[in-house]
Amino acid sequence: MAMISLNIKPRGRPLKNLPETLDFDLSTASTTALYEQIAKHTRLNQNRLRITKGSDGRPVSLKRDDGKLVTIEETGLRNGSQIFVKDLGPQIAWRTVFIVEYLGPLLIHPLFLYLRPLIYSASAYNPLSYLPFNASSSTALIPAPTTTQLVLCTLCTLHFLKREYETVCVHRFSAATMPATNIFKNSAHYWVLSGLNLAYYLYAPGSIAASWWPAALNADLNPTVRYAAIALWAWAEISNYATHITLRNLRPEDGSTKRQIPKGYGFDLVTCPNYLFESLAWLAIVVLGGGNMSTLIFFAVSTGQMLLWAKKKESRYRKEFGSAYRKKASMIPGIW
């Protein structure tokens, strides 16, 4: 049995009760045991800990690409090697973050639609919507939501129900946790931009969605355009779900960092068809909303972010797989 002693120092602020050395059996001990021992001494959850090698600064991994545990010997650590330990602060599970993010708009859209009489007043119509404005009509009842507004609420709610289902039952995460404080930043995009921003303006009595095509009081959306937009939305959502299933099947389990080149429906066309289909689903919402400014803002921000994510993922694939990676676009065929 070959025993080794590892020298341990904190990275950043000192850690209470952090041992100066720890001994392990080189041939059998896994890096999981290393994390567990340091967590036991410092009384910190091991998800808060980042352990790096003093020789090259690389993180000490817990699992191999195939999901199996990494032994201390496989990391290159030897007797007398230096490691650094950093406290990452309070953590929260990625799955929990996603659930909280999508819960906001999932609740906000139906609430805004069905609480319209409490949120809007008859005299508060948007003057840019071509609806008549009469200050003396403040006590009048607001008109019932149009078919287009009902459709918009249904599609937005179904979208985020799908997201919640995928978070719980489909997605596999390579990292277990993220800093807990990031949940506020991550949730702001969904709760504010796709929740409050979309719901307030889409379901208002003076919304373009209530009077567009033709632009007359309470006129509804042209049925042909409405059905075409709904068909686009449905196809894009189903296609997006199919790509998520493909990505799930590339990883044997949560925590696996195994990477493969995804192939099949959508992936033979671009690197990130999931982002392409997602953007097309929101484009359908833009059309149904009559080009409402709130939908345009959300579409521009979300699509722009997905374009950047797609390019970043494509660069990582090209670096990792080299000439074996032959796709010509990251998200939009022939353009991006």
- pLDDT digit string, tens, across residues 34-77: 999 999 999 999 999 999 999 898 999 888 766 678 888 889 89
C-alpha pair distances (Å), 63 with each of 26, 85, 272, 298: 16, 18, 26, 38
Q: Is 336:307 a contact under the CB 8 Å cutoff?
A: yes
Which mean pLDDT values do the consecutive 10-residue runs of the chain (336 residues) have? 88 91 86 93 92 91 78 89 94 94 97 91 48 41 87 96 97 84 89 95 86 47 82 98 94 69 93 97 94 93 96 91 86 92
Q: Where in the chain is the domain with CATH 3.10.20.90?
A: 3-89
For 37-49, what is each residue's pLDDT tens digit?
Answer: 999 999 999 999 9
Architecture (CATH level 2) of domain 3-89: Roll (3.10)
Q: What pLDDT does residue 134 have?
A: 41
DSSP string across 114-179: HTHHHH--TT---GGGT----GGGTTSPPPPPPHHHHHHHHHHHHHHHHHHHHHHHT---SSSEEE
Q: What pLDDT does residue 157 have?
A: 98
For 210-230, what is each residue's pLDDT tens digit?
Answer: 765 444 333 455 778 888 999
